[in-house]
Structure 1
């Protein structure tokens, strides 16, 4: 460990600086200490009384920093993690931070609130700065703030989970097209087999996440039927505090864990919302009829009829047991696993849900990896709004059919994630633009960071297990307004598929750093940065041979090597098709 240099420290930040230094980030975390020496003043926007918002951006191109930081065995990373170990830290990110267009590469260290004094924090910040300089990386400051790591699962109310397993045989997720201009289209989409929809466990119907991606599992015999699986985050379907960290594998005999479409609080709220909207629309229709304005009256009558139709379609399935669409098939132990190709640790926070054929209108073999993104006009407006941040990027056509985008068969490789080829004219550095559609946060645009983030996980049932994992941070392109950086995700988006501009899956959204339920690095209420797990590491985890830590088979997905415990694999119909030997699940 590098010795701390004794310096005459500056005065601690004032209460105003502590509270407003991160003005502009969604959660506005509290500043503990920083190594930069410039004096803090209330930065006002010219001609207004508003403060200039602080923003976060990806690092972009920095060859030496990429070479050292993205290497799990490098002395730079080891020394930085040793230095921050003096604090009860939760996350370490390297991003560009600043305001008024002046952004500087900064090591951002998050610590648990109330656990670190300014004097200790300042010593850590200065040590980290000196470590970078000792590795010939100059101009990188360190900032320490109060922030927690939270999963992006939504938790809205007390559970109303039922003990009965009965459910109407008529419940089926719709495959009908969601037509452009359809009133309350997003609510109809929630009752469909599209990706990006709200899901929850029947026994935890107050906690929700997002259906991320479909994977097709070939039958183990020539006479068997293939299975269709849905991928999401483990923490969406398993509560580690009450159900433990162990691997879950569904047994042929015994109780199964049912997964439902739409969490119960949201389902009840939607029914009540439709009842109110129908009543209000009928009142407006009557008023316009009395005034002789038949066109307006007809439009409100249409809204009332659609709201009533949707409410009546939902009411028979108010019971959570009636909305079961699948069963939890497998989830690994919540632990980190080492990727031997890079020596990095990734948290195994994923789960597979087996879809039930009788709960879907369409045959499972015909269901596609389609994500509902809304009307084409809304999608085009989103791209136009972010035109400045997308300058320099090749944006291919994204055909939207019935409000949906169909994802491609190949995935984004790790090389492309950490070393993107396209250059952003707006930021003057290579970056990877991505999108996601979350069950709660909807459609958002972001830019992937080129340096990995390190998360520290300590909240476990036994209270004594500590894990560190690599994650990939994404910051939004857009701003919500003139004051705050927009959120890339929100609570309830866990499990959302993240894809690039070529419609290739890149990973699933997992967790974020926040304070007071508002997130700056991923999600809980809102976030300006989210972390996601690359599919390359999910695939690797699925196929790892636990006995000797070596892959039995290698399968090419795009240009990336993914490891499966299976005899063969192909890609078909926008799903991943794998002849998996299910013995690895038990």
Structure 2
């Protein structure tokens, strides 16, 4: 809708924003009761032109906020610095929680919904809606109450934005009798906070050939590899003469079958076994480029392959060595029999043929690369160990970056663990659905696939894995510099023999030995990561088992439903590496800084203590009635609710929960939908953003050591969020217990005698 075409003329009876209320609002003014709650106003009609933002003011008005969004409109422009020299004189601003204001009592009782309906009726492409205060950094006053509206970039001109802002303000004043507030509009988008650093892949194409090769059928597929340990299903073979056909089969002469067996004939399929390739011409070129060429060919054909081997497969008891076989494993359901035949012949004729290897075959089977005695989550180490922080993503503590194996460029964060209880011994991890099923890539229906088709989930996508390796390099170089620096100091003390210098040299030699030990610890872990975790298949830790559709909601007690459940693979967890829902605080903050973040006021004595090992065990959950009733006080003796999270992108951050709901408006399945959110803002201007893209799915906890919810999105003009949105744990558990009736947040491992670990 073109807002410039709306008949907007401003009336003379605009409320005086400097006075408590307009003279026309004498009845019920300020009581927060709408005179007509169902009445939603059109854009304000006044004779006087409202204040209109300029470009300079737009760019500088929100200086200091994490994403520095652009101001579109304000009904109360007095906080802005003079436009004459905004670039030089704009003040820093910060977001604060709204306290002790009439807005709070009516926000979730109809006002917020009314504003969203009004915006929809006007035709505004809005993205978020908050009630908070925005004040100058260092200013003691709390700042005016602000209804903060986010709109898509370019959705409104300054003039249109001003008209909309005044329309909303008039609705607030006239219908809800809240005069002492302002309305501001900024450009901001709601981000599902997954990393998305690579372009979408090309849509998979079915391989085609001019000549139709032999195509496997179900009976052959199921029996062909009988005798092998996993009895995989055959998808394709380029040498069907090794298949035992039915006697008198129509294709006997065409394919040269020698044996006379068919599943329906009453005979037994022959047993097969795998043998080493041995002395074959394939062996001489396999590691000299042929294997790499086959991998590239499979990738070019968009084949979701899992393994590539060169070996022989022969009949049990057959004295001959068997036919040399290029054996390709593909994911379950990745190729039909027809597609598999085309792929196999392309590999044989187009790639292997160029290497002049004739006496071999290509076979494709369904196969998954499985972790056996290999990777599991790394064990935790003591706080003073050099790898305490950098190994954290590979441990079972909360906050590891995650992705799906087939979309490594979309990254989010693992949330919290739960056990299903009863006879289910598995341990599950909750994250946001859009982390593992990106918006636009699925039909937003309930996800529940058969075992063979479940999505595999990995620690680290491509970007976060590379960033982790880069962090290793930085720490190693820094440690090498420290060693050199200490060695230089020791050399300078070499000829100093008095007591003070001797004592100093002894201390430096101890420091040198410690630095060398730490360097060795870093190098050993880096070698382990590079050797055993580099391939995405080596970072698989579980599979997606269930994800309800994303459902926005503004109903009481409901919030954005955006969750997915991942089952942790057997063998990933053991008694040494799993401590339940535990957060590693890391070394980002000193003990004093941590204390200042959680103990803001002498009257607040939360049960949360800063453990010496920096591992915080989360127990219990935040009840819904605590979300908007802050349980503690800040340094100014005002009610507040401090929360924290360990995100895959921004790591450990602390924030302050707002005491009124926010609302978001996002496009889902081609339609704009509104939803209520639990908002979290930065604790102050210096603390930085609470979250950024890549943090979706993170577990948010309060400083009483309770699970508060999972992070689902944030609003801002850049990848840093000015306001972060969280789905409360109370709502999540309502949904989870419908699927897992005995689900609980205190999973522990039990090791029965002679068996592996299980959950209770």
What TM-score do the two structures reach when normalised by structure 1?
Answer: 0.81
The corresponding residue for 2:442 is 243
- Label 1:302 to 1:261 Cα distance change in 2 as closer, same or farther (>3 A): same
Contact 2:693–2:720 (Cα < 8 Å) also in 1: no
Secondary structure in structure 1 of the residue aligned to 2:522: helix
The corresponding residue for 1:314 is 529
**Superimposed CA distance per residue, residues 535-570 of structure 1 (whole angstroms, 9 cap, x where no aligned partner):** 111122335xxxxxxxxxxxxxxxxxxxx3566566
* Per-residue deviation, 1:20: 0.6
Secondary structure in structure 2 of the residue aligned to 1:347: coil
**Superimposed CA distance per residue, residues 149-184 of structure 1 (whole angstroms, 9 cap, x where no aligned partner):** 111112334689963131442333336332011113
What TM-score do the two structures reach when normalised by structure 2?
Answer: 0.64
Match of 1:270 among 468, 476, 485: 468
- Stretches of structure 1 lacking an aligned partner (at least 5 in a row): 522-529, 544-563, 576-586
* Per-residue deviation, 1:303: 3.3
**Superimposed CA distance per residue, residues 167-226 of structure 1 (whole angstroms, 9 cap, x where no aligned partner):** 44233333633201111322212111111122111111222222111110124xxxx551
Distance 1:287 1:159 in 2: 47
The corresponding residue for 1:213 is 416
Match of 2:377 among 168, 174, 185: 174
1:154 aligns with 2:356: no
- Label 1:297 to 1:541 Cα distance change in 2 as closer, same or farther (>3 A): same
* Per-residue deviation, 1:468: 0.8
Contact 2:96–2:134 (Cα < 8 Å) also in 1: yes
Secondary structure in structure 2 of the residue aligned to 1:329: strand
The corresponding residue for 2:634 is 424
1:66 aligns with 2:104: yes
1:353 aligns with 2:569: no
The corresponding residue for 1:446 is 655
Distance 2:710 2:613 in 1: 24
More contact order relative to length (CA 8 Å, sep ≥ 6) = 1
The corresponding residue for 1:504 is 706
Distance 1:128 1:338 in 2: 19
Match of 1:228 among 421, 424, 427: 427
Contact 1:2–1:79 (Cα < 8 Å) also in 2: no
- Label 1:213 to 1:516 Cα distance change in 2 as closer, same or farther (>3 A): closer
Distance 1:84 1:117 in 2: 15
**Superimposed CA distance per residue, residues 329-376 of structure 1 (whole angstroms, 9 cap, x where no aligned partner):** 11011223575xx2x552221110001122234499x6411111125x
1:93 aligns with 2:130: yes
Secondary structure in structure 1 of the residue aligned to 2:52: coil
* Per-residue deviation, 1:393: 2.6
Which structure dedicates a bigger proportion of its chain to helix?
2
> Within 5 Å, which residues of 2 pair with 1:505-524?
505-521=707-723
Distance 1:540 1:250 in 2: 23
Distance 1:399 1:386 in 2: 11
* Per-residue deviation, 1:451: 0.8
1:455 aligns with 2:597: no
Distance 1:359 1:469 in 2: 37
- Label 1:138 to 1:429 Cα distance change in 2 as closer, same or farther (>3 A): farther
Distance 1:319 1:383 in 2: 36
- Label 1:39 to 1:473 Cα distance change in 2 as closer, same or farther (>3 A): closer
1:303 aligns with 2:518: yes
Distance 1:136 1:111 in 2: 25
Secondary structure in structure 2 of the residue aligned to 1:303: helix
* Per-residue deviation, 1:119: 2.1
The corresponding residue for 1:539 is 733
Distance 2:413 2:151 in 1: 28
Secondary structure in structure 2 of the residue aligned to 1:368: coil
* Per-residue deviation, 1:401: 5.8
Contact 1:178–1:403 (Cα < 8 Å) also in 2: no
Q: May I ask how many residue pairs the two structures share in their alignment?
A: 522
1:334 aligns with 2:550: yes
* Per-residue deviation, 1:286: 5.2
The corresponding residue for 1:473 is 679
1:141 aligns with 2:182: yes
Which structure dedicates a bigger proportion of its chain to strand?
1
Deviates more, 1:226-235 or 1:414-423: 414-423
Contact 2:558–2:731 (Cα < 8 Å) also in 1: no
Contact 1:453–1:471 (Cα < 8 Å) also in 2: yes
Q: Which has the larger radius of gyration?
A: 2
Contact 1:34–1:143 (Cα < 8 Å) also in 2: yes
Distance 2:510 2:603 in 1: 45
Distance 1:265 1:569 in 2: 33
Distance 2:463 2:41 in 1: 52
